[in-house]
Structure 1
Amino acid sequence: MTDTLPTQSKILITGAAGFIGFHLTKFMLERGHFVVGLDNLNSYYDPKLKEGRLDILRTYNNFAFYRADLKEKPAVDEIFAACKPEYVVNLAAQAGVRYSLENPYAYVDSNLVGFVNVLEAC
């Protein structure tokens, strides 16, 4: 695969401690990009899995991490202002279709409000 981003781009990846977010973050770090990871580390999946992934990512000098929830607009704005990303990949989302039937507002907050907050911060 050819890297089409300029070398050492600053990329913000939301959901960086999740399965897909972790692998994308690691992929970008290995190619010399500076990655700012953002995740709320919620407990839908075992937080120890996410912490383990973050331990691996923290071994890279070109990685920074913020623990924040995308539904909190002031936190999102503060992170964007501090890191000034050139690119943003939004992989943060509340997972689990069955859980959405039990708690639909968790999905609205995470997947809709959170996404709008990311768009507004760009």
Structure 2
Amino acid sequence: MSSKNYHVDRTPARSDEPIWWSLFGAGGTWFAMLTPVTVLVLGILVPLGIIDSDALSFERVHRFATSIIGALFIIATLALPMWHAMHRVHHGMHDLKFHTGAAGKVACYAIAGGVTLLAIVFIIML
């Protein structure tokens, strides 16, 4: 057993990284779990006629999109993968030795925030 003297920083600096990592994780999970099902249903099963296209009539889709569950689903489908992607872009630039500093971080997360805001405005305008 060694007698190394370890120092524990009892007052670590605050970080905003947990916020971005949680949005990154939520976006990656959403994209991996729900986006393929959405694409399967809307992009394959309905066009092939396996699911009746009347199930996606304008009235039914509008009623879904204007319900709280539907609105949250649409907002999450648009916003969460964007947070995931922009977090990857931000850290990917760093990994590629393209250091943009705070400006790059702000730009990446501003884009994701903008898409989120547009998704919310889109739903409100329905």
Question: TM-score, normalised on structure 2?
Answer: 0.33
- Higher gyration radius (CA): 2
Question: TM-score, normalised on structure 1?
Answer: 0.34
